Amino acid sequence: MKFKSLLSRGRVRTAARRVASDPSPGNYVALAQAHASAGELQDVIKVCIEGLALHPRQPDLERLRERATALIREDRVRDLQRELKRSPRPALWRELCEVQLAAGRLARAEKVAVEWFEQSGEAEAQLFRARARAERFFADRRRDDARAALDLLEAVLQADPGQDEALRLSLSITSRCGAWNEARTLLARLLELCPGDPSLEARFRSVAAMAEGAPSLDQALREVERSGSFVDDEPESDRSAPSQAIRPLLQELAGRPGVQGAFYVRGGTALVQGPRGASAERYARGVRELLGSTRASCRRLGLGQLLEVQLEGRFGSLSSRPGALGAAALWGEGRPNLTTDEALAALVGNEEEVTS
Amino acid sequence: MKRVLDPLAHVPGIRRAVLISKDGVPITHIQSAQVAERSEEVHRDTADDLSAFAGMATGLLTEVHRSVDPMSWEDPERLVLSGARGTLVLHVTERVTLAVELERGMAPEELRLPMESVLDRLRRSLARMYAFRAAGAYSSNKFKQAAKLARRALTYNAGESSAQLIYDKVEAKVEGMMSQARSAKAGGKTRKAEKLLKTVMAILPSTDQRYREARKTLNQIMIDTAEEEDD
């Protein structure tokens, strides 16, 4: 054991010397790996941060940092669970929930909160459960999650009417989905708790102005589930135009061997290369419908936001990818490949994703 | 049936694999311990529940079929849905759908081979089942049903020897019946010939050459009988 430790320390020293003489990404990665072998996870993170400052977005360094952070978090989770078995107390439950939420493990966070509530019956446990559900709603946009979160928050408020965190979370859910009437009521309750708060008052006035003719909570949640976007999402029209012109890229793609059609859909407009006339219209409609239906299904199935859809059959293959600007699809012979992925990413403006 | 999914049981990164019937009912499944735990304790009302998952996967397929309909394409055989928190791969066959849910970051392409292996196992297993049923029907002298079941077994697995054996036996029976029908017709025993030909037609598919021959002979017998009655 001692020999192993000496050996790893030697490796760390050698790697550090290499970084000093040549601070290349590869040398930073080697130093971080040497620290990881020595079990020095905090040092791994420090090296990765230093390396990323010099080489921003270096994928290996980012991956190592994430991995080290996750391992540290895992260790803390194990410690907390051990401690909770010995002497369960609110501070430990709270930290465990916070750690799971920070790691994005929403199901586990909810499970911990449920256990906490079953053991102690504390309203704070319900608040954490609501937070997990609300995070799930913000990620997946499923109305059932929003409903569950709001019900839990209402239970928290019944137990403790002065719980402003619960009110703020309810407000966040209702206002993000555009249920302005409910948001106005919640703001009024918040103002009772913090009378004269200028930011709350300003918000109350703007929400009150929008409340007339606003959809009900159920309608708003249904619309969010259907469209996959919140009212505070950046409108499509405000987003910047793609860096490259779409049509030449589509033409280039459609001209590649094995490609039968290339499509780009944004709002009500569809650009098609390959199929012509009425067929082009039918294909564009099909691609738009496919993306619409799969987007909702992806969230309902708990897979989160849709990144890509691929269909294969006797017709060949159709790969579609929604992006921030629009959605692109490529119809080709045979199976989809990496070139298809790159082309689609370029079309929807996600070039960085492919290069990383 | 659960053993059909064995090739997927040891593939890392699989959250669950479910064999789903055409109407959205889960037939058999395997799932990671984490999903099993979640399904029991937290999200009974969401996709974590197996039946809901199967129903939603089937609903998704229906929606996809509806979307590709305007393109005049045949139904897709494979569908990959990649999301921010995981990936769903659906492999559609004539009677069942194999749905596999993957952890985030897993490449669906790596699953192609194990999934095809599962479907091959399934086809072989269905072929064996239909061959067994065909043998039962043959021993009860239900030749039409035996031929139908043996044919179905052979469509699932062309190498299913027991199904081929039953089919060959039924074929031999058909040949025998055809020659008996011919001699009965020649000997003026039209009723017997008619009965035999009808049995042959019930056994064979309408695309078979002998079916057409039997139909032609039967028509001829009916014309002859009608002419005799007229005289």
State residue A171's pLDDT score.
92
Q: Which residues of A touch B46 (CB under 8 A)?
A: 142, 144, 302
Give the distance from residue A140's alpha carbon to the nearest chain B alpha carbon, in angstroms. Answer: 9
List, in order, residues 6 or more apart from B204 with CB less than 8 Å away: B147, B174, B210, B211, B214
Neighbours of A252 (CB within 10 A): 14
From residue A314, give the alpha-carbon distance in Å to each of A293, A311, A322.
Answer: 22, 10, 24
Taking a C-beta distance cutoff of 8 angstroms, is the pair A124, A108 a contact? no
Q: Please compute the mean of the pLDDT values over residues A108-113 and round it to a whole number.
A: 89
B98 touches chain A (CB under 8 A): no
pLDDT tier for residue A225 given thresholds of 50, 70 and 90: confident
- Tell me the chain B residues in contact with residue A322 when contact means C-beta distances shorter than 8 Å: none
Q: What is the reported pLDDT for A299? A: 81
> Cα distance from A166 to chain B (closest Cα, Å)?
21
Residue B173 amino acid letter: K
B117 alpha-carbon distance from chain centroid? 17
**Count of alpha carbons within 13 angstroms of residue B30, beta-carbon side:** 18
Extended strands (E) in chain A: 259-266, 269-273, 306-313, 316-322, 327-332
Q: Looking at the DSSP assignment, which residues form a beta bridge with residue A322?
A: A327
Chain B, window 163-202: residues with a beta carbon less than 8 angstroms from a chain A beta carbon: none
Which three-class secondary structure state does DSSP give residue B89? strand
pLDDT at B17 over 50: yes
How far does the CA of residue A293 sit from the closest CA of chain B (Å)? 6
Q: Which of A107, A290, A304 sits opposite B67 (nearest CB)?
A: A290
Which residue intervals of A263-348 are DSSP H helices?
A: 277-300, 338-348
User: Average pLDDT for residues A163-192, to the nearest whole number?
Assistant: 91
Type and span of the H or E element at B26? strand B26-31
Residue B123 neighbours by CB under 8 Å, 6+ apart: B93, B156, B157
| Mean per-residue pLDDT, A100-122 | 87
- Burial A21-43, CB ≥16 within 10 A → b, else e: eeeeeebbbbbbbbbbebebbeb
Tell me which residue in A302, A304, A309 faces B48 most closely, judged by beta carbons. A302
**Are the C-beta atoms of B109 and A338 separated by less than 8 Å?**
no
Nearest by CB to residue A107, choosing from B43, B70, B74, is B43
pLDDT of residue A352: 44
Q: How far is A314 from chain B (nearest CA, A)?
A: 7
In the block, which residue shows the tokens 């395997």? B30
Residues 6+ apart with CB under 8 A from A325: A236, A239, A240, A241, A242, A266, A348, A349
Instruction: Catalogue the E-assigned strands of B40-197.
Output: 78-83, 86-92, 96-102
Q: What pLDDT does A147 receive?
A: 92
pLDDT above 50 (res B118): yes
| Residue of B73, B77, B93, B119 to mutate, interface with A, max A Cβ within 10 Å | B73
Angstrom distance (rounded) from CA B102 to CA B111:
9
- Among the residue ranges A34-38, A46-50, B43-47, B116-120, the one predicted with the least confidence is B43-47
- In the predicted model, is pLDDT for residue B225 greater than 90? no
For residue A300, the chain B residues in CB contact (below 8 A) are 47, 56
CA distance A206 to chain B (A): 34
β-bridge pairing B26-31 and B78-83: unpaired
- Burial group, residue B58, by CB count within 10 angstroms (0-12, 13-18, 19+): buried
Q: Copy the structure tokens of residue B169.
A: 């036996």
For residue A129, what are the CA distances in angstroms to A94, A151, A155, B167?
A: 11, 11, 11, 62
* Range with lowest mean pLDDT among A77-81, A125-129, A194-198, B227-231: B227-231
**Residue in chain A lying closest to B52 (CA):** A301
Out of A114, A286, A307, the one facing B68 most closely (by C-beta) is: A286
Flag the least confident range among A6-15, A39-48, B165-174.
A6-15
**Is A60's pLDDT higher than 50?**
yes
Q: Please tell me the distance in Å from B23's CA to the nearest CA on chain A.
A: 17
Q: What is the pLDDT of residues A76-88, one digit of tens each?
A: 989 998 998 888 8
Is the separation of the CB atoms in B214 and B181 below 8 Å?
Answer: yes
Between chain A and chain B, how many beta carbons pairs sit less than 8 Å apart? 125
**Residue of chain B nearest A284, judged by CA positions:** B71
d(CA A183, CA A171): 5
Residue A317: closest CA among chain B residues belongs to which residue? B76
Query: How confident is the model at residue A235, as a pLDDT?
Result: 58
Burial B61-91 (b: 16+ CB within 10 A, else e): bebbeebbebbebeebebbbbbbebbbbbbb
Question: SS3 sequence, A93-140?
Answer: HHHHHHHHHHCCCHHHHHHHHHHHHHHHCCHHHHHHHHHHHHHHHHHH
Q: Which residue, among A110, A145, A293, A303, would best test binding to B if mutated, counting the most B CBs under 10 Å from its CB?
A: A303
Is the confidence at residue B40, as pLDDT, over 50?
no
- Residues B75-99 have a mean pLDDT of 89
Report yes or no: B41 at the A interface, CB cutoff 8 Å.
yes
* DSSP conformation class of A32: H
Mind telling me how many Å the CA of A233 is from chain B's nearest CA? 18
Residue A128 has pLDDT above 50, yes or no: yes
pLDDT above 80 for A73: yes
Q: What are phi and psi of A98, to 5 degrees?
A: -60, -45
CB-CB: which of A140, A294, A313 is closest to B81? A294
- Which one of A137, A226, A308, A311 makes the best mutation probe of the B interface by having the most chain B beta carbons within 10 Å? A311
State the angle between helix axes of A25-37 and A2-21 in degrees (0 to 180), rounded to the nearest 10: 170
Least confident range of A118-122, A166-170, A333-337: A333-337
Distance CA(B208)–CA(B171), nearest Å, equals 11
